[in-house]
Structure formats: structure tokens, C-alpha cells
Chains A and B, each alone.
Chain A
């Protein structure tokens, strides 16, 4: 168990090893580990950010959806109102038109009746004249009495 020169040789070897580790081994490992740690931390932070952004977006979409629903129901209500109004209007128009058509038809019928009456009148007068002619053939001169007969026909 003698202390000898080995002591110094080993101490020098130790010093060289420490220098080597300080210079070449430790820094790259430290850089690699610290960079990775930072990357992981950044990734986690980004994930958290994304999560909160998603929450905000979900809330926003819900609000938008509700708005859209409300608007849709509003529009539907308006449309129903407008529809019933249109139906009412149509009913009114139809009634007016119907009345107009009815009045027209009535007027035509009246006209027709008048015309028929006119025809009938002239026919009746002709018949009456024919009848009277037949009855009075002998005593009444058609020519002498035609003026009177025409007056009669006009009175009918």
C-alpha cells in the first residue's frame, strides 16, 4: 500500500477525463435534453391553446345556431302570415270577380230575356194579327186596319 507516482498519473488522467467531459460530453447532451424539454413544453402549451380555442368556437357556433333558429322561426311566422294574407286577398278578389261575373251574367240574362220578350211580342202580335185576320178575314180589310194593328202591336 505504498503511495507512489501512480497517484500523480491517476490524478492527471482524472483531470483529462473531467476536461473531456466538460468540453465534449456534457454540452451536447444538455442541449439535446433542454431543447426537447422546451419542445414538449411548447407542444403542451399549443395543445392547451387549441383546446381553449375549440371551446370558444363551440360556444360561438352554438350562439350562431340559436340565432339562425330564431331567424328561421321568424321567417316561417312571417311566411305564414303572408300566406294567410294572400289567401284572404285571393278570397276577396275571387268574391269580387265572382260578383262581377254574376252581375254580367245577370245583365246578359236580362238582355236575353228582353230580346226574347221582344221576339215573343212581335210573334204574339203577328199571331194575334193572324188570328184576327182569320177571324175578321171577311169583314176587315187588312190594308185598312194595318195602321191600327201596328199600334196595337207596339202596345203589347
Chain B
């Protein structure tokens, strides 16, 4: 709990609301034209730092005996490359594998911001900078995760059309996964009914594909968002308890440490899952049915 609340009534709900408010500034008319500066600046900053570090190592990469830094980067590289190789069987080096590396490292870095202690950061960093509201974890902003999922979704459609052609893609929308209607000479009354009903397969296929195309970006983005948001809320709840006195502080510290350690797993796991889903979706777009 920080002193910037001193002037207002400090209740648990105001504490949580304060910590879960974005640094949102309108950039135009209407509720859509708002930019969450905290999410945007943190994510861009992390992207520059993480990919910049990798680039810095990659720029002077030697084919001989690698330095420790290069060995570490190559470890990550090989890890991502191996995962992509198992899923996607095309030329992965031209786009999909580097995309997977970007997604993994960027999401990992953004998730890892959850380890920053909320109150310490607010008290010592953000408040002195004049930032009343500042959320450190860009992936606990639905806009960030949805932006990533939507970008992957667009790539998915792009690769689908690129591989199968526009006609092939539309054909697949109506013919997969149940197959299309066929003209055949009915041998019985039931066969005749089947012939009449077979165009319904187009409807079923199309509905199925639409559901798939809607559910993919939703599950992709909401899984990451939900995990990181829940993690943040639990940190806030622990922080609330820690503010209730000496006992609360001691147990809050122990619980906070415990949750942080457990959160290391979640942070890495969610970044990994997000990367894997990205690769799976893009690989599926390359396959024709």
C-alpha cells in the first residue's frame, strides 16, 4: 500500500481497482479511440530489449566455438526450431520459425513483468514519474493478447489463401471437414431423401469453419489473458493481506514468494503454449483437406 492513496479512502476494492486501471488516454472521439499507454509502452520496450539482445548476439554470431551468450541464444533458437520442426513440415525458416521465436520471447518477457512487485513499483518508480495508473504486465491487458491472436489469425487466413488460392480456400470453407454434396442416382426412397438433403452439408461445413475461425483467436488470446490477469489479481490479494498488520505482512510475504515461484512456471508455460498454438494454427493453414 502506498502513500499516494493517503488522501482517498483506502478500501480493498479501491486498492484493487487502482492497480487494475490502465493508463488510458483518449486519442480521438469514441470509446474505441483510447490507447493504454502502459500496455503499449511496456510491450514495445520489452520487445526492443528482448529482440535487441538477441539481435546483438546474432549479429556477431560465429560459426566456430560460441561464446556463452551465443550458446544461450542458440539454446533458445534450437528449442523453438525443434518445436516448429515437429509441427510444420514446410520451409519453416522463411517465416514461421522466426515468428515463433518472436512470440515466445516477447510473450515470455511481457509475462515476466508479473514478477515486479506491484506496490514497490508503484511507490518507487511509477508514482515518482507522475504515473497514477500504470500496469506493468502487458499480457494482462486483453488488448495485447487479442492483438497477438488477431495478428496470428490474419496470418492464418493469409497463408490459407496463399497456399490453396482464394478459390481453394473458399472451397475448403464449404467442403471441409464433412465433404460436399454429390449427385448420384438414388436407388431407393432413402437415397432420394439423401440426395435432396446433401446440399445441407455445405451449410454444416460452413458453420463448422466459421465457429473454428471465431474460436481460434478467442481461445488463443483469452487463455493467456486469463492466466496473467488471474496471476496479477492473486498478487493484489496477497498484497491486501500484507497490509493488515504484522501477521499479514509475514504471511503475505511468504505467500507472495510462494506464488511468485509458482508463477515462474505459469509465465513460461503460457508463453510456450501461446507460441505452440501460433505455430499449430499457422501450420494448419498450410494443410489442405
Contacts and interface: CB of A to CB of B under 8 A. Distances in A.
Contacts of A36: 63-64, 66
Q: Tell me if B's interface is mostly helix, strand, loop or mixed.
A: helix
Interface in B42-71: 43-44, 47, 51, 54-55, 58-59, 61-64, 66, 70
A154 interface: no
B285 interface: no
Contacts of B40: 6, 9-10, 13
Contact of B74 (A3, A14, A29, A39): A29
A35 B63 CA distance: 6
Contact of A7 (B51, B54, B106, B143): B143
A12 to B, nearest CB: 8
B129 to A, nearest CB: 20
B154 to A, nearest CB: 8
Interface string A1-37: 1111111111101110110111011111111110110
Contacts of A25: 51, 54-55, 58, 98, 101
B32 interface: yes
Given A2-B34, A10-B144, A11-B151, A21 B77 contact: no
Interface in B118-155: 138, 141-144, 146-148, 150-151
Contacts of B97: 26
A15 B151 contact: yes
Contacts of B70: 32
B225 to A, nearest CB: 9
B78 to A, nearest CB: 7
Interface of B: 24, 27-28, 31-36, 39-40, 43-44, 47, 51, 54-55, 58-59, 61-64, 66, 70, 73-74, 77-78, 93-95, 97-99, 101-102, 106, 138, 141-144, 146-148, 150-151
10 contacts: A1-B142, A2-B31, A4-B35, A4-B36, A5-B27, A7-B146, A18-B99, A22-B98, A25-B98, A26-B97
Given A10-B138, A33-B78, 8 more contacts: A4-B24, A5-B33, A7-B143, A10-B43, A14-B102, A17-B51, A22-B94, A28-B61
